[in-house]
């Protein structure tokens, strides 16, 4: 009994001792947290000696808007960028693995004794963000990326031929429509393989015959395939393979045959097939992809890359997504047409000299019966065209004095073509600059400056395509998105709700920094230093990072004194 009582007392004393220790720990923790919170309220810089700084000690309050002012050369940038920013960046990079740091390189520690309370640092300086012609306000802020996602998921497609809304069908629905619309009728099911393209297509016909097909439809006429068959290579042609000819009936065999025919036609027609009523010649198109029900043209199912001018899937093939082209200007090549070629009418080549190019000019002069000493304006038009755009021709000239006939051959690229090819293909920067002197910068005639393929411009949200939105001022664009929900269907709203919310948030940041007058397609090359700085600031705010230290170089937002200051936020 006594042993039991002693053990009981021993356990009670252990509990009391443990409680005392926990209480002491809590008191120490409380004092430590209070001490740390006092430290974390400030960025403490001790003994800064970078550049013009002379052993400076400074305490900068955190989560405040702090301005550093002073005369030129007083050390504002040395404190903000070369000390605080450099140390914050160095410490952040040190947290990376050794493998990652080998690609970033080592950063030298600034000449300072100690910095406490430092957060990860981001510097936003006044400089143009990018000199790439593909960089725009929309791509920098990533708003254009969200626009691409919106159009890929919630837009309506329209035909660029007829303006009708595009449709798409499943194979099962295609079969149901054929059975219901052509019941009891004789039909031809065809697979389109060529649409409005030039060529003789002899190899294509041979390939179709080897696959077991016996008939094709060329330019609206169904004919039998024959050996060596070909078309006029200089005319545009439409070619379809006749997959099957059948009568639509309610039988199991007919149903199975129709299913196999649809699969075969879709395979050879790249997910498009044609149905022609043999009696009335009525034509219907069906496609697994987006398709115009009248003309039969089809679009690929939209992806974000289809709306990107930096992707081959979306970029205009004529200007490669730049929106502008350099085109040879004949007036810059021949500024004065009263001068002769001999005296330098063709500015890129200068006056006559003993060179291959002038020998070609001399042969062209003999071909068209003029002299190089004649004023350029008096030269025949055919000769002018050959001089500028080249030609390939053989001819003979009979010499009356010698009584012999001499054969000549013209194989000339043309002055204008040479200049254009040098601009496009030359590796030398000086050659490109030389060629550009004889060219004009023009808006791409195919995309009209939108940078995108024609198909991409016919996907619309509330009657606007993505280029229309990119060309709209940010203030107007924000109003358009604020009213967009009431113009979307229930399905579109369900898909696009989060995308629209993100776009509206980022547009608000741009409005808050005073960039309401810009458009998303504005090239970053044309931005001023202050505009570029504000765009980067809006982008950083949109990233929703917490506890980050921003250092701004001569900010131009909301401050009355714009000269000689730095901002730490």
What are the pLDDT digits (tens) for 195-236? 888 888 999 999 999 998 999 999 888 899 988 898 888 888
By CB atoms closer than 10 A (0-12, 13-18, 19+), residue 177 is middle
Residue 32's pLDDT is 41
Residue 306's pLDDT is 92
Position 466 pLDDT exceeds 90 = yes
Position 117 pLDDT exceeds 50 = yes
Position 404 pLDDT exceeds 80 = no
Other C-beta atoms within 10 Å of 369: how many? 9
Share of the chain above pLDDT 90, in %: 30
Round the average pLDDT of the chain to a whole number and report it. 83
Residue 74's pLDDT is 85
- More reliable by pLDDT, 260 or 125: 260
Residue 545's pLDDT is 78
What average pLDDT does range 126-147 have in this prediction?
84
Position 499 pLDDT exceeds 90 = yes
What average pLDDT does range 360-369 have in this prediction?
86
Instruction: Give kind and range of the element (H or E) at residue 160.
Output: none
What average pLDDT does range 96-110 have in this prediction?
83
Angle at 25 between CA 19 and CA 30, to 5 degrees: 130
What average pLDDT does range 102-125 have in this prediction?
85
Ordered DSSP codes for 80-122: IIIIIIHHHHHHHHHTS-HHHHHHH---PPPS-SEEESPPPEE
* pLDDT band with cut points at 50, 70 and 90 for residue 483: very high
By CB atoms closer than 10 A (0-12, 13-18, 19+), residue 495 is middle
* pLDDT band with cut points at 50, 70 and 90 for residue 561: very low
Residue 560's pLDDT is 35
Position 568 pLDDT exceeds 50 = no
Residue 138's pLDDT is 92
By CB atoms closer than 10 A (0-12, 13-18, 19+), residue 496 is buried
Position 62 pLDDT exceeds 60 = yes
* pLDDT band with cut points at 50, 70 and 90 for residue 75: confident
Residue 241's pLDDT is 92
- More reliable by pLDDT, 239 or 1: 239
Residue 482's pLDDT is 93
- More reliable by pLDDT, 33 or 469: 469
What average pLDDT does range 497-523 have in this prediction?
92
What average pLDDT does range 81-86 have in this prediction?
88
End-to-end CA gap in the chain = 72
Contact 548, 92 (CB under 8 A): no
Whether this model's pTM surpasses 0.85: no
Residue 304's pLDDT is 93
What are the pLDDT digits (tens) for 155-205? 999 998 888 888 888 888 888 888 888 888 899 999 999 888 888 899 999
Contact 192, 238 (CB under 8 A): yes
Q: Which tokens in the block code for residue 514?
A: 């005073």
What average pLDDT does range 433-443 have in this prediction?
91
Instruction: Give kind and range of the element (H or E) at residue 396.
Output: strand 391-399
What are the pLDDT digits (tens) for 289-306? 888 877 778 888 889 999
Give φ, ψ of 397 to 5 degrees: -130, 130
Residue 548's pLDDT is 85
Distance CA 403, CA 386 (A): 29
Cα 32 to Cα 27, 39, 61, 543, distances in angstroms = 9, 11, 20, 33
Give φ, ψ of 199 to 5 degrees: 145, 160
Position 19 pLDDT exceeds 50 = no
Closest CA to 481 of 504, 497, 461, 499: 504
């Amino acid at each position: 009994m006594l042993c039991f009582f002693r053990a009981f007392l021993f356990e009670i004393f252990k509990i009391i001792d443990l409680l005392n220790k926990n209480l002491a720990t809590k008191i120490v923790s409380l004092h430590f947290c209070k001490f740390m919170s006092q430290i974390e309220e400030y960025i403490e810089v001790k003994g800064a000696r970078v550049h013009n700084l002379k052993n400076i000690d400074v305490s900068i309050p955190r989560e405040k808007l702090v301005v550093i002012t002073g005369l030129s050369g007083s050390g504002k940038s040395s404190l903000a960028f070369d000390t605080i920013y450099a140390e914050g960046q160095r410490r952040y990079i040190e947290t990376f693995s050794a493998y990652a740091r080998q690609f970033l390189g080592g950063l030298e520690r600034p000449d300072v004794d100690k910095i406490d309370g430092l957060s990860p640092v981001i510097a936003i300086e006044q400089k143009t963000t990018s000199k790439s012609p593909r960089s725009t306000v929309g791509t920098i802020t990533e708003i254009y990326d969200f626009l691409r996602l919106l159009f890929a998921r919630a837009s309506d497609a329209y035909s660029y031929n007829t303006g009708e809304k595009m449709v798409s069908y499943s194979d099962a629905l295609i079969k149901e429509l054929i059975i219901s619309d052509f019941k009891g009728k004789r039909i031809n099911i065809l697979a389109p393989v060529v649409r409005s393209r030039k060529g003789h297509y002899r190899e294509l016909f041979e390939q179709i015959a080897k696959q077991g097909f016996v008939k094709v439809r060329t330019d609206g006429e169904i004919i039998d395939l024959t050996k060596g068959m070909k078309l006029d290579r200089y005319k545009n042609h439409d070619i379809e393979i006749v997959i099957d000819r059948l009568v639509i009936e309610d039988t199991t065999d007919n149903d199975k045959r129709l299913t196999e025919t649809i699969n075969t036609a879709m395979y050879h027609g790249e997910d498009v097939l044609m149905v022609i009523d043999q009696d009335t010649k009525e034509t219907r198109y069906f496609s697994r992809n987006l398709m115009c029900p009248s003309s039969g043209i089809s679009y690929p199912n939209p992806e974000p890359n289809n709306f990107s001018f930096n992707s081959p899937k979306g970029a205009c093939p004529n200007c490669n997504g730049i929106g502008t082209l350099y085109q040879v200007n004949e007036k810059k090549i021949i500024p004065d047409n009263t001068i002769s070629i001999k005296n330098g009418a063709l500015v890129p080549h200068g006056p006559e000299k003993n060179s291959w190019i002038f020998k070609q000019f001399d042969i062209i002069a003999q071909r068209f019966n003029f002299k190089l000493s004649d004023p350029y304006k008096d030269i025949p038009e055919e000769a002018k065209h050959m001089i500028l755009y080249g030609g390939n021709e053989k001819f003979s000239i009979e010499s009356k004095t010698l009584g012999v006939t001499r054969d000549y051959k013209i194989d000339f690229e043309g002055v204008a073509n040479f200049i254009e090819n040098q601009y496009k293909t030359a590796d030398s920067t000086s050659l490109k600059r030389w060629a550009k002197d004889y060219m004009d910068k023009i808006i791409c005639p195919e995309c009209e400056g939108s940078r995108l393929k024609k198909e991409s411009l016919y996907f619309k949200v509330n009657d606007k395509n993505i280029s229309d939105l990119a060309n709209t001022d940010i203030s107007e664009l924000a109003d358009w998105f604020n009213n967009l929900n009431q113009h979307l269907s229930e399905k579109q709203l369900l898909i696009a709700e989060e995308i629209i919310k993100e776009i509206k948030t980022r547009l608000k940041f741009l409005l808050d920094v005073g960039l309401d007058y810009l458009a998303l397609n504005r090239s970053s090359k044309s931005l001023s230093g202050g505009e570029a700085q504000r765009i980067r600031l809006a982008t950083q705010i949109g990233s929703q990072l917490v506890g980050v230290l921003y250092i701004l170089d001569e900010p131009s937002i909301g401050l009355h004194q714009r000269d000689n200051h730095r901002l730490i936020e």
